[in-house]
Amino acid sequence: MKKVSVVCHSGFGHTTNQAKAIVHGIDNIENVTGNLIGIDQEGEIAETDWLALDESDAIIFGSPTYMGMASWQFKKFADATSKRWATQTWKNKVAAGFTNSASMNGDKHSTLHYFMALAMQHSMLWVGTGLMPSYTKSAWRYDINFLGSFGGLIQSWIILGQIMGSDSLLIRVFDYQRV
């Protein structure tokens, strides 16, 4: 049984909703189990959560994009991973990420590229969405990957539909795990 942890901070619930959809997708994959770890409003997770991350085969980072970057609570978590960095504890784990913000763009790309930089410092392996964008003239808000993101899952609050593409992301994660 492979383990995937989704670790995220959520300010108003949007990110938790994304995370739940992703964990739901994980649990639908055979021989894989998902685990949702919430970073609290002080940027903390429990010691048992750290151990769960250490034992995971893949870690998926999630945060809202506030002022052009992941929230400070997520960054506090990221800074606290420096112990794992020093020992390269997460080396060779698979990493992926997701974010959301109010507007279509709103610098969500900055957050995703930061997640990549963080994963690279941990010598993790980065996987993106593996989804083609929706880009015809008939494209609309409820299309899969309407926002056209490759590096990670993104969602805009003004799109009122469901989380999109999460299953696809997870399937790619596990293709590489060659479960």
Q: Which amino acid is at 94?
A: V
**Contacting its own copies (CB under 8 A), which of 28, 41, 82, 162?**
82
Kindly state the number of chain residues that form the binding site for its own copies, as judged by CB under 8 A. 68
Site string for its own copies, 137-176 (x = CB under 8 A): x-x-----xxxxxxx--x-xxx-x-----------x--xx
Output 28 or 103, the one with its CB closest to its own copies: 103
Give the footprint of its own copies on residues 7-46 (CB under 8 A).
43
120 interacts with its own copies by CB under 8 A: yes
Cβ(169)–Cβ(144) below 8 Å: no
Cβ(65)–Cβ(111) below 8 Å: yes
Look at residues 157, 64, 78, 150 and name the one whose alpha carbon lies nearest to residue 108.
64
HEC string for 66-78: ECCEECHHHHHHH
Where does residue 138 rank: exposed (0-12), middle (13-18), buried (19+ CB within 10 A)? exposed
135 interacts with its own copies by CB under 8 A: yes
Contacting positions for its own copies (CB under 8 A): 43, 66-73, 75-76, 78-79, 81-82, 85, 88, 91-92, 101-110, 113-114, 116-121, 123, 125-137, 139, 145-151, 154, 156-158, 160, 172, 175-176, 178
